[in-house]
Structure 1
Amino acid sequence: MSSIFSKIIAGDIPSYKIAENEQFYAFLDIFPLVEGHTLVVPKKETDKLFDVSDEELAALLVFAKPIAKAMEAVFPCDRVGISVVGLEVPHAHVHLVPINSADDLNFTRPKLKLTAEQMQATQQKILDQLNQQ
């Protein structure tokens, strides 16, 4: 059975895409902790992050790096934190989150409720910065 992330990657479910290559897909989390919260997922459906190959794990971080740099440039944050939780969706993924403290990665906090227009504006900020890199 395909995960919701596989359906997003296939285009069966719409997303606010940030980047894509042959191995990975990055898109905005629709239940973000903060503006800019982005998910990076391998296209190959694997339940747990540490079940992917060493090469794929390394490539995922290399793929995520320019996205994180773009996020740092456009959102008021000290850095972009990375988190692996993976309990809600059985498809390996990492969260990239603009943070100013460790508590900003507390996934028990209430999530933002952003409009489609706000999500599109957030997406465009990141895409514009990626295009400048």
Structure 2
Amino acid sequence: MASVFTKIIDGDLPGTFVHRDELAVAIMTINPINTGHVLVIPRVEIDRWTDLPIEVAHHLVTLAHRIGNAQIRAFGCQRAALIIAGFEVPHVHLHVIPADSLDHVSFENAARTVDPADLASAAQRISQHL
């Protein structure tokens, strides 16, 4: 069965995209820890990041680097945090989170709901700096 991320990538579920290419996508998460929280996801559905082909892993980190720099410029945050956890969805995804403190990278602070217009606005701000 396809993961929720594959369904978003394939257009079967809605998603707010920041970036798309042949290997990966970057989407706004619907449970952001902080405004501008992005998920970088490979198109290939693989559960553990350590099982990714090295060229895909390299591409994901390069894309996360670009997204992080765009977040810093878009939101004026001190840094962009990068987390690879992989416990909730069995499809590799990198969390890129605008952050000014360690509190800004705690999953306990994730929003349970978010206005789609806010996601679209944050995506546009990030995209302008890519």
When normalised by structure 1's length, the TM-score is 0.91
Report what 1:49 is aligned to: 49
Report what 1:123 is aligned to: 123
Q: Secondary structure at the match of 2:13?
A: coil
> Aligned ranges for residues 5-44 of structure 1 at < 5 Å?
5-44=5-44
Q: How many residues align?
A: 130
Report what 1:80 is aligned to: 80
Gaps of 5+ in 2: none
Q: Which AA in structure 2 matches 1:30?
A: I
8 Å Cα contact 1:34/1:112 also seen in 2:
no
Q: Secondary structure at the match of 1:8?
A: helix
Cα 1:77/1:85, change in 2 over 3 Å: same
Report what 1:61 is aligned to: 61
Answering whether residue 98 of structure 2 is matched by residue 103 of structure 1, we say no
**For structure 1, which segment, 29-38 or 119-128, has the greater mean C-alpha deviation from structure 2 after superposition?**
119-128
When normalised by structure 2's length, the TM-score is 0.93
Gaps of 5+ in 1: none
Show structure 1 runs of 4+ deviating over 4 A: none
> Considering only aligned residues, what root-mean-square deviation do their CA atoms show, in Å?
1.3
Cα 1:110/1:67, change in 2 over 3 Å: closer
Report what 1:3 is aligned to: 3
